[in-house]
């Protein structure tokens, strides 16, 4: 790409790369790291005509939560159960993989590339929680409600 003087790198991350989520610490850490890597790479390769973009889906209809198991009984069990109930319900209204893929294709082929793309209005709202939250209170205020069984 550098030799050709043009190119595009598109990486699919997740809204979990913008908003940390309870009980998804390793997943979110990996997504945050990928977003940081791409954000750091973007200005380095830009002078060579290479654009870098990330695509952030929210919930996509899949078996994503099927492999999650409740922790052993203990101080976190009720919190985790409440979180899993909330997360499982979010996947009942998730966008289709085909719909999310349209954004990936657009990011790869557009004549007006940008760094950050969300695949749905839900992803825009969710990623926006963190991206405009300079002190972190907005994100924590929302994600803490996910741990209440009455939420």
Q: Which residues are catalytic?
A: 27
Among residues 44, 31, 49, 28, the alpha carbon closest in space to that of 116 is found at 31
Strand order in the sheet with 7-12: 7-12, 50-56, 116-118
Q: At 58, list the tokens.
A: 């929210």
Helix 137-145 with 121-131: angle, nearest 10 deg: 130
User: CA 75, CA 86: separation in Å to the nearest integer?
Assistant: 19
Cα–Cα distance between 103 and 96 in angstroms, integer? 12
Contact indicator for 18, 56 with CB cutoff of 8 Å = yes
8 A C-beta contact, residue 104 and residue 54 = no
């Amino acid at each position: 790409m550098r030799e050709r003087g043009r190119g595009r790198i598109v990486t699919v991350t997740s809204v979990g790369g913008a908003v940390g989520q309870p009980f998804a610490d390793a997943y979110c850490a990996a997504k945050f790291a990928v977003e940081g890597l791409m954000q750091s790479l973007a200005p380095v390769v830009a002078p060579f005509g290479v654009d870098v973009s990330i695509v952030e889906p929210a919930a996509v209809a899949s078996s994503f939560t099927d492999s999650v198991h409740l922790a052993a009984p203990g101080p976190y069990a009720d919190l985790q159960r409440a979180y899993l109930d909330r997360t499982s319900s979010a996947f009942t209204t998730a966008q289709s993989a085909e719909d999310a893929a349209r954004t990936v294709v657009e990011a790869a082929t557009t004549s007006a590339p940008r760094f950050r793309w969300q695949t749905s209005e839900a992803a825009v709202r969710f990623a926006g929680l963190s991206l405009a939250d300079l002190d972190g209170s907005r994100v924590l205020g929302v994600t803490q409600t996910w741990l209440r069984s009455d939420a």
